[in-house]
């Protein structure tokens, strides 16, 4: 089988006067985010705002807030197609957004007007680039690629009712096809372990919420396994006169109060949104002979006992202001092969003490770091890896560069993910045992699709998942049956992608 010699066409839906390609894409897109999203108070969740590039003026926040706390495990919804039988999607609830296949946004309300597969009239797509979106050239470069390869034309919006709005946050996600009114294409700027300034775990809710604070003045809320599963980027306020570079770490007590420790031996008391909402910085004390630069991390447990972990392998305990009030110079142990120099941060969750270890950034397939992880273990206060001896991984918010933007525009034009084709089992094997349990539904095939899978499976499609998408152990989740080695192709539209677009928009 010669994959590159075959012109791949995907499953097509009958739509209007032309069939619409149900091309299948790599995993970060969204169907239709609501034009309005509820504002989140500090007590509910942190607001989602764009994460600025280092050389970009942040300016005003977006006019729309993005996902807050997850509302449930998800469900299944059936959405009509323009002409023919509907498509059933299983989805996961992430805040106010319902995500299918990792990046397809399911509308909050399915009405008679909701339909998949609509082409943009005349192939003309008005658009707006949000002023707060960092690296806006990724949008203009992606648009240039689409215009060079297809007959579709993108025009800056003037007064058009229906248009694409490129904005920051919400993962890498987009609507499927022309949905009407303002239609969001969400593009994260991305984070990595090296951009983390502090970590805090809030235990006041029904489950642990991990707050990740970044060196650029933004934060996300998530879990031990994903940094933005509860909330995408939001701004946090430093105490007056304090620079973010002076922050050592934060710790959150049993009431949900956040204590921010600085390198001048002062600590403030506040919230994840405002570090000094309750008290301005005041002095704190460490163990005798210790200075702030000796600290590997701060933590506060369920009994509001505060801990200072030092880089020499010892820790002291006390309260938030006197961290050696109870005892000091106690030795702690780490996971096998780890030393105090490897400790990035220490926090306390419901299941014990959590240690985050220094930095590990994956570059799948030799490409950009779409998968970014930080190792962690769980244990007791002095045996920091006794409860969980194996090392877990935290996945960071992915970046959405030009190639990912081309992919998201593909969704907005009407393309679906390649690996959900009905005939995919003739081409690939899904390694279910390697997939994160909570994300296995993303690999199911669509049901009740009008049309047929025409032509060979397209490994070269920009709409195809990478071989390790949603992996729980770093192993492949998608394997070609004939042994073909493929990568997550994000360079540009394939011949098969173009065939699908021609089927929908004409030559």
- Give, to the nearest 10 degrees, the angle between helix 402-413 and helix 137-149: 60
* Residue span of the structural domain in which 292 resides: 193-395
The closest of 256, 221, 222, 264 to 239, measured between CA atoms, is: 264
Structure tokens given for 212: 């990740």
Count structural domains, the chain: 2
As a residue count, the chain comes to 507
- Cα–chain-centroid distance for residue 59? 23
Contacts of 249 (CB under 8 A, 6+ apart): 198, 199, 261, 295, 297, 298, 345, 346
CA-CA distances (angstroms) from residue 395 to 29, 369, 399, 408?
18, 11, 12, 21
Q: Are residues 241 and 297 in the same domain?
A: yes
Identify the CATH number of the domain in which residue 461 sits. 3.40.390.10
- Cα–Cα distance, 260 to 271 (Å, whole number): 9
So what's the pLDDT on residue 186? 85
**148 and 221 part of one domain:** no
HEC secondary structure over 109-146: CCCCCCCECCCCHHHEEEEEECCCCCCCHHHHHHHHHH
Give a yes or no: residue 59 inside a domain: no
**434 in a structural domain:** yes
Pairing of strands 153-156, 124-129: parallel
Q: Please tell me whether residues 114 and 30 are part of one structural domain.
A: yes
Where is the domain boundary, 352, 370, 395? Answer: 395
- Give a yes or no: residue 64 inside a domain: no
Residues 302, 438: one domain? no
Say whether pTM exceeds 0.75: no
The answer to the question of residue 448 being in a domain is yes
pLDDT at 68: 29
Domain match, 210 and 289 both: yes
Identify the pLDDT of residue 212: 87
Q: Which residue(s) pair with 99 in the sheet?
A: 92, 105
The predicted pLDDT at position 14 comes to 31
Q: Write down the pLDDT at residue 471.
A: 72
**Strand pairing of 428-430 and 478-480?**
antiparallel
Residue indicated by tokens 């998949």: 116
Per-residue model confidence (pLDDT) at position 5: 31
Q: Is 60 contained in some domain?
A: no
How many other β-carbons are positioned within 10 Å of the β-carbon of residue 279?
15
Domain end, chosen from 395, 424, 445, is at: 395
pLDDT tens digits in sequence order for the chain, 507 residues long: 222 233 333 333 333 323 333 333 323 333 333 333 333 322 233 222 333 222 222 222 222 223 323 334 566 666 555 545 566 666 556 555 555 555 555 555 443 333 445 789 999 999 999 987 877 888 999 999 999 999 999 999 999 999 999 988 666 788 778 888 898 898 876 676 778 899 998 988 888 888 989 887 888 888 877 777 676 667 789 999 999 999 999 999 999 999 999 999 999 999 998 999 999 999 999 999 999 999 988 999 988 999 999 999 899 999 999 999 998 888 888 877 777 877 777 787 777 777 776 655 444 433 444 335 567 777 777 776 655 434 455 656 556 778 889 988 988 888 877 887 778 898 899 999 988 787 787 787 763 333 335 457 788 888 888 887 777 766 788 999 999 888 777 888 988 888 878 878 887
Which phi and psi (to 5°) does residue 94 adopt? -125, 95
| Rounded CA separation 115/80 (Å) | 5
The structure tokens 């704190």 sit at 284
406, containing H or E segment: helix 402-413
Same domain, 279 and 329: yes
CB atoms closer than 10 angstroms to residue 204: 13
Alpha-carbon dihedral sign for residues 472, 173, 497, 363: negative
CATH of the domain at 370: 2.110.10.10
The DSSP symbol for 88 reads E
Contact 35, 181 (CB under 8 A): yes
335 and 414 assigned to the same domain: no
CB 384 within 8 A of CB 332: yes
DSSP states along 313-372: SEEEEE-SSBTTSSEEEEE-B-STT--GGGEEEEEEETTEEEEEESPEE--GGGS---SE
Q: Is residue 333 part of a domain?
A: yes
**Distance (Å, rounded) from C-alpha 376 to C-alpha 344?**
9
Measure Cα distances from 193 to 213, 214, 389 in Å: 11, 9, 21
Same domain? 230 vs 340: yes
Predicted pLDDT at 461:
86
In a domain, 281, yes or no: yes
Q: How far apart are CA 494 and CA 23, in angstroms?
A: 11
Last residue of a domain, one of 378, 395, 412: 395
Give the pLDDT confidence score for residue 370 in this predicted structure.
Answer: 38
For residue 188, CA distances in Å to 109, 135, 148, 168, 487 come to: 25, 10, 25, 5, 22
Q: Which H helix or E strand runs over 404?
A: helix 402-413
CB neighbour list of residue 215: distance below 8 Å, 6 or more residues apart? 195, 196, 197, 244, 245
Tokens representing residue 63 in the block: 């006019």
User: Quick one: DSSP state of residue 396?
Assistant: P
User: Do both 338 and 417 map to the same domain?
Assistant: no
Same domain, 230 and 344: yes
Assess if residue 57 is contained within a domain: no
Task: From 269, 271, 348, select the one nearest 307 (Cα to Cα).
Answer: 348
Q: How far apart are CA 147 and CA 136, in angstroms?
A: 17
Kindly give the residue spans of alpha helices, DSSP state H, lying in 185-293.
none
How far apart are alpha carbons 29 and 187 in whole angstroms? 10
**Within this chain, do residues 439 and 292 fall inside the same structural domain, yes or no?**
no
157 plus 41 within the same structural domain: yes
Are 69 and 44 in contact by the 8 Å Cβ rule? The answer is yes
- State residue 60's pLDDT score: 23
């Amino acid at each position: 089988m010669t994959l590159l010699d075959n012109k791949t066409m995907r499953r097509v839906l009958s739509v209007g006067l032309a069939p619409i390609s149900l091309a299948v894409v790599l995993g970060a897109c969204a169907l239709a985010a609501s034009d309005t999203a509820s504002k989140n108070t500090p007590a509910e969740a942190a607001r989602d705002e764009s994460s600025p590039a280092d050389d970009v003026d942040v300016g005003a926040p977006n006019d729309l807030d993005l996902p807050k706390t997850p509302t449930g495990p998800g469900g299944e919804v059936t959405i009509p197609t323009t002409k023919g039988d509907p498509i059933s999607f299983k989805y996961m609830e992430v805040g106010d957004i319902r995500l299918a296949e990792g990046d397809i946004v399911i509308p909050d309300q399915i009405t008679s007007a909701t339909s998949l597969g609509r082409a943009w009239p005349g192939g003309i797509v008005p658009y707006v680039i949000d002023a707060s979106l960092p690296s806006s050239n990724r949008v203009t470069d992606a648009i240039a690629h689409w215009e060079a390869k297809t007959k579709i034309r993108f025009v800056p919006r003037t007064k058009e009712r229906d248009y694409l709005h490129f904005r920051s946050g919400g993962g890498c996600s987009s609507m499927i096809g022309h949905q009407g009114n303002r239609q969001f294409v969400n593009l994260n700027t991305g984070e990595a372990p090296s951009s983390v300034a502090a970590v805090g775990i809030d235990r006041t809710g029904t489950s642990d919420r991990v707050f990740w604070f970044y060196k650029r003045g933004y934060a996300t809320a998530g879990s031990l396994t994903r940094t933005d599963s509860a909330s995408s980027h939001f701004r946090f306020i430093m105490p007056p006169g304090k620079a973010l570079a002076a922050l050592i770490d934060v710790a959150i007590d049993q009431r949900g109060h956040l204590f921010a420790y600085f390198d001048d031996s002062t600590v403030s008391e506040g919230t994840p949104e405002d570090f000094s909402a309750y008290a301005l910085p005041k002095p704190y004390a460490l163990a005798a002979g210790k200075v702030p630069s000796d600290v590997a991390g701060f933590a506060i447990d369920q009994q509001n006992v505060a801990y200072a972990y030092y880089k020499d392998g010892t820790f002291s305990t006390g309260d938030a202001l006197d961290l050696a009030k109870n005892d000091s110079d106690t030795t702690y142990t780490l996971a096998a092969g780890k030393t105090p120099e490897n400790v990035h941060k220490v926090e306390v969750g419901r299941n014990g003490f959590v240690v985050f270890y220094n930095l590990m950034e994956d570059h799948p397939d030799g490409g950009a770091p779409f998968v970014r992880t930080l190792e962690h273990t769980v244990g007791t206060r002095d045996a920091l890896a006794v409860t969980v001896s194996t090392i877990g991984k935290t996945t960071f918010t992915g970046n959405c560069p030009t190639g990912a933007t081309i992919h998201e525009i593909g969704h907005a034009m009407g393309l679906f993910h390649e690996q959900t084709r009905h005939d995919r089992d003739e081409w690939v094997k899904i390694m279910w045992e390697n997939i994160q349990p909570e994300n296995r539904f993303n690999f199911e095939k669509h049901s009740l699709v009008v049309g047929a899978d025409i032509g060979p499976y397209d490994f070269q499609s920009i709409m195809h998942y990478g071989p390790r998408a949603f992996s729980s152990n770093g192993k492949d989740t998608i394997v070609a049956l004939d042994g073909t080695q493929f990568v997550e192709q994000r360079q540009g539209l394939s011949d098969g992608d173009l065939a699908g677009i021609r089927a929908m928009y004409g030559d």
